[in-house]
Amino acid sequence: MAAVTELGYVVFGVSDLAAWRAFAADLLGLEVCEEAGESGRLYLRTDYWHHRIVLEADGADDLNAAGLRVAGAEELDALRARLGEAGIAYEEGGAALAAERRVLDLIRLRDPAGNPLEIFHGPLIEPHKPFHPGRRMHGRFVTGDHCGVGHMILRHAGLDKSQAFYRLLGMRGGLEYRIPMPGGVFDILFMHCNQRDHSLAFGPPSTKSVNHLMLEVENIDDLFMTHELVKASPYPILISLGKHANDHMLSFYFASPSGFLIEVGHGGRPATHQSEYYVRDTYGHEFSEQLHAGMSLG
């Protein structure tokens, strides 16, 4: 069955490109690239891909697209047919957008909550251009074995609707956290498509499409180096260092220049491909006073 194979890239609309440039390079360690003739746009690299993150200076301060990869042209055609049979609207990305995204072909659609998606195949890989971090790093970002750029929590309009939609795209998953909170139980849905525990998750209430983007570093020293740099920066840490019960990721969360969060993590375990759930994290991950309880997790 044709299926999404990874969260290949993400596109964010931002209001302060200059702040993002410094944030990406100096705090995150991402490689920042520009292309001739493309003003108002930055490409962020974490590996041999042309880009893993696109920043577009349009003032949105939110997700402009989640780029979901399929294996090839046949799989993209099969998904077109499946979406058509299910009555889900999509549009062709077209040659101009494909060239801009550096992919061979793509379609555009929205999930049940209106989150913007691009399903693509054929990303531009540049083995002649090794990743060059924006600042010193001990190791590299974890993107190998087609596990993608990382993961995101997105807005939802009912967990059942999100689960059904992403199942249609060939992803698997279900509820992994059921957290007792004042006033009720808080459920979070996690969907995976490769060896990464989850590529997309849904649960926390959000006015933006994106709650957070997680980037994983392979060397634990890079996690603590980033933590030290963020502590000395104007960007507040909103969820303290801790370990997730589901993906075993040691991580912390901090604000980006666009308001949504960045999670930097280390040591995530591979997807177990079996259903299980948790009622709290292993340790840590305390919410700051700035973050309302239940705003972000996963």
Interface contacts to Fe ion, rule CB under 5 A: 214, 263, 298
When the beta carbons of 31 and 197 are compared against Fe ion, the nearer one is 197
From the list 259, 243, 257, the residue with the least C-alpha distance to 297 is 243
CB-based contacts of 94-100 (< 8 A; 24+ apart in sequence): 100/38
Q: Shortest gap between Cβ of 53 and Fe ion (angstroms)?
A: 16
Give the C-alpha separation, 102 to 118, whole Å: 13
Closest residue (Cβ) to Fe ion? 214
When the beta carbons of 106 and 209 are compared against Fe ion, the nearer one is 209
When the beta carbons of 93 and 298 are compared against Fe ion, the nearer one is 298
Query: What is the β-pairing status of strands 6-13 and 53-56?
Result: parallel
When the beta carbons of 105 and 206 are compared against Fe ion, the nearer one is 206
End-to-end CA distance of the chain: 28
Q: Shortest gap between Cβ of 180 and Fe ion (angstroms)?
A: 20
Q: Shortest gap between Cβ of 109 and Fe ion (angstroms)?
A: 24
Q: Shortest gap between Cβ of 144 and Fe ion (angstroms)?
A: 19
Tokens for 107, please give them: 């379609």
Q: State the DSSP code for 159.
A: H
When the beta carbons of 80 and 243 are compared against Fe ion, the nearer one is 243
Judge residue 160's burial from the number of C-beta atoms within 10 Å of its C-beta, 0-12 exposed, 13-18 middle, 19 or more buried: exposed
Q: Shortest gap between Cβ of 113 and Fe ion (angstroms)?
A: 18
Q: Shortest gap between Cβ of 147 and Fe ion (angstroms)?
A: 14
When the beta carbons of 103 and 188 are compared against Fe ion, the nearer one is 188
Which strands, in side-by-side order, build the sheet including 200-202?
Answer: 172-181, 184-192, 200-202, 151-154, 210-216, 261-266, 250-255, 237-243, 283-284
